[in-house]
Every structure is written in structure tokens, then in C-alpha cells.
Amino acid sequence: MAHIALIGATGTIGSRILDEALRRGHTVTAVVRDPAKLDRTAAALTVETGDVLDTAALPKLLAGHDVVVSAVGGGDGPGHQATIAPAAKSLVEALRAVDGGPRLIVVNGAGSLRAADGTQVWDKPGLPDWLLQIMHAHGDALDYLRGVTDVNWTALSPAATIEAGERTGQYRTGEDDLVSDAEGVSWVSAEDYAVALVDEIEQPKYEGRRFTVAR
Ligand SMILES: NC(=O)c1ccc[n+]([C@@H]2O[C@H](COP(=O)([O-])OP(=O)(O)OC[C@H]3O[C@@H](n4cnc5c(N)ncnc54)[C@H](OP(=O)(O)O)[C@@H]3O)[C@@H](O)[C@H]2O)c1
């Protein structure tokens, strides 16, 4: 059983990670900006108020955990990208001040993954500017993490499309290459993404690396 601190537990992806971690018997501290927004109770769930960008306050909130998971973002649309890379930096700086060095697992984006034709997903023509900004913010966060050697980090990129769906427990992983099915579709449910992330908590395979998960 792992003691997990989860930031972003009220979000689409974070709420699935929360459910998956609890169903598998882990204890979770959800660090949320507004506890009233967290629509979940469980004996193994503790709720703390905090902001991922408040670096000075984080060490106290994150101490005593085995793993810190960040699923922060800001919804669809403009403004979201501003949180992503600063959040990664804030978490790394905070974890440097935590005794015992919890592991860090961050939800990343699919934009920087390599497609079959050698381009990156964010090179696809016609992507809206707001989405490109989010994709590149995740790319910046990943570049930053790749330079970090004193915090045990992992980044998990979803398939090209991630959406609420079914928990099947079936998924495939890759590293920097987009994982697609026989029809060329790269897709994962948020539920199976959460399964893969909690599997990585239980059996680490990608420490110091990014990996991706698809159906
Ligand atoms: N959904 C997708 O299609 C998709 C695809 C690829 C990558 N991603 C990435 O996955 C991450 C999560 O996406 P999502 O769709 O689950 O987002 P979401 O539903 O908008 O949830 C975002 C979460 O981040 C939290 N948050 C934002 N700023 C915060 C801060 N300063 N301190 C603490 N918590 C903060 C929000 O908390 P509040 O409740 O307080 O607002 C919320 O829990 C994002 O980085 C996103 O770019 C998403």
C-alpha cells in the first residue's frame, strides 16, 4: 500500500486516479484549492487545502507520502497552459525540501509524442492556438523534468485522445512514440490511464522517464 499525495483530484483525470488508487487500497491525500469541490469521501482519503504553485507551503503537505501525483491543469481553453510548467518546477523544488524524497508522477500531454511519420503530434496542421499552447507547455515541463536528477520523477502522456470512458484494465505503453491501434487511432479512456498510472506506482518501470499509454 502506498501513501499518495494527489494534486488535481477534482479534475477529469485526477478524479479517475483518485478512484483507482482508493479501489486498490492505497491511502490518498488530495491537495485541493477548494475542498468543497471534491465530491468524494472514503476512509483512506484525507483532504488538504493547497495550491501547486505555493512552493513554500508544499513540503509540509507532501511530507510522509511515498508518491506525489500531479494531474493539474486548468480545463479546456486559454489560460490553462500557464500552470503546467510552473507546477512541475514548484513540485520539484518542494520535493527537494522533503525528507525521504517521495517519487513524483506528473500527468503530461500527448503533443510532444512522435507520430508514425516522424513528426510530433503538435505538428499536425489545423490545431487551435490554445491547444498548441497547452501541448508546448507540457513539452516545456517534460524538458525541465528531463534535466532533474535529484528528484525521482516520471511523466505519463496520454494517447492523442483521452476521455471519460470504461475501465478495462487493458492498455499498451510506449515511451516517446505515440501508441495507436491497427486503424491508426490513438485513444485511451481516463479510467485506463489511471490504471496505468497506479500500476506505475505499484511497480515502477519508468523512473526518470516519460511513458505513454493507449488502448
Ligand atoms: N483532458 C484531456 O484531454 C487532456 C489531454 C492531454 C493532457 N491533459 C492534461 O492533463 C492534466 C489534467 O487534465 P484534466 O482534463 O483532468 O483537467 P481538469 O479537469 O481541468 O482538472 C484540472 C485540475 O487541476 C487543478 N488545479 C489547477 N490549478 C491548480 C493549482 N494552482 N493548484 C492546485 N490544483 C490546481 C484543478 O483544481 P480546481 O478544482 O481547484 O480547479 C483540477 O483539479 C492537464 O495538465 C491537461 O493539460 C489533459
Residue 85 belongs to a domain with what CATH number?
3.40.50.720
Please determine, for residue 74, whether its predicted confidence score (pLDDT) is greater than 90.
no
DSSP summary character for residue 127: -
158 lines ligand 1 (CB under 6 A): yes
Please determine, for residue 42, whether its predicted confidence score (pLDDT) is greater than 60.
yes
Q: Categorize the per-residue pLDDT at 79 as very low, low, confident or very high, splitting at 50, 70 and 90.
A: low
111 lines ligand 1 (CB under 6 A): no
36 lines ligand 1 (CB under 6 A): no
Give me the number of domains the chain comprises.
Answer: 1
Q: Categorize the per-residue pLDDT at 78 as very low, low, confident or very high, splitting at 50, 70 and 90.
A: low
Residue 75 CA, closest ligand 1 atom number: 20
Please determine, for residue 77, whether its predicted confidence score (pLDDT) is greater than 60.
no
Q: How high is the pLDDT of residue 82?
A: 83
Please determine, for residue 148, whether its predicted confidence score (pLDDT) is greater than 60.
yes
Please determine, for residue 19, whether its predicted confidence score (pLDDT) is greater than 90.
yes
Segment 52-63 shows an average pLDDT of 97
Instruction: Give the closest residue to 208 by CA, choosing from 105, 136, 91.
Output: 105
110 lines ligand 1 (CB under 6 A): yes
Tens of pLDDT along 164-200? 999 999 999 999 999 999 999 999 999 999 999 999 9
Please determine, for residue 158, whether its predicted confidence score (pLDDT) is greater than 70.
yes
Comparing 81 with 53, the larger pLDDT belongs to 53
State the first-to-last Cα distance of the chain, in angstroms, to the nearest integer: 26
107 lines ligand 1 (CB under 6 A): yes
Q: How high is the pLDDT of residue 132?
A: 94
Residue 109 CA, closest ligand 1 atom number: 7
Contacts 24+ apart (CB under 8 A), 55-58: 55/90, 55/93, 55/94, 58/90, 58/91, 58/94
Q: How high is the pLDDT of residue 101?
A: 86
- Sole residue written with cell 500527468: 107
Please determine, for residue 76, whether its predicted confidence score (pLDDT) is greater than 90.
no
Tens of pLDDT along 86-137? 999 999 999 999 988 899 999 999 999 999 899 999 999 999 998 999 999 9
Segment 40-51 shows an average pLDDT of 97
Residue 80 CA, closest ligand 1 atom number: 47
Residue 157, domain extent: 3-214
